[in-house]
Amino acid sequence: MINFYPNTFYYPRERVEEKFANGELQAMQKMLLDFVERHRENIWIVAQDENEPGVISDESLLDGLRSFLLYKGSLQPAFEMAELIKEIDKEAWYRNEIHPENPKEVADDWKEQYASQWREARMFETFFLIEVLSDKLVEMLRCK
């Protein structure tokens, strides 16, 4: 099984479980299901590369999904970019409450300090969802 955990910061799994329980990952869950629907053929190709022709286990399909997701880097780049911009805007607002700063400099600082961590957190949450929704995802992948 392919795992993913953020390398640049500590993000406890319990926090992700809590976000899931509170419904905070619903948008990401829908994006994951849409991603699988859109990329079913490519996921199968990746899964087949690791197995004997015609013999693909459920876990191999899920690993194909994980590998393809890591290759793509995002479930839905436009949505994630909009979310990233919201985070940068929050930082600009906060820092300008203390003293005026150039918004471009704030954005550059934020990207340098937090962008990779933010993206790793999204990927970790997605891998968690793959685990939680594994039965549904396998069903979708096997439905041709």
- 60-91 tens-digit pLDDT: 999 999 999 999 999 999 999 999 999 999 98
Site of tokens 């590998």: 67
User: What pLDDT, in 10s, does the model give residues 79-129?
Assistant: 999 999 999 999 888 888 888 888 889 899 988 999 889 999 999 999 999
CA distances from 115 to 3, 47, 107, 121 (A): 21, 30, 10, 10
Long-range contacts of 55-61 (CB under 8 A, 24+ apart): 58/134, 58/138, 59/1, 61/137, 61/138, 61/141, 61/142
Kindly tell me if the per-residue pLDDT of 52 is higher than 70: no
The pLDDT value recorded for residue 143 is 87
Q: Which of these, 1, 6, 39, lies nearest to 121 by C-alpha position?
A: 6
Residue 100: predicted pLDDT: 87
Domain boundaries, the chain: 13-142
Alpha-helical segments (H) within the chain: 13-21, 26-49, 58-72, 77-98, 103-132, 134-142
pTM summary value: 0.87
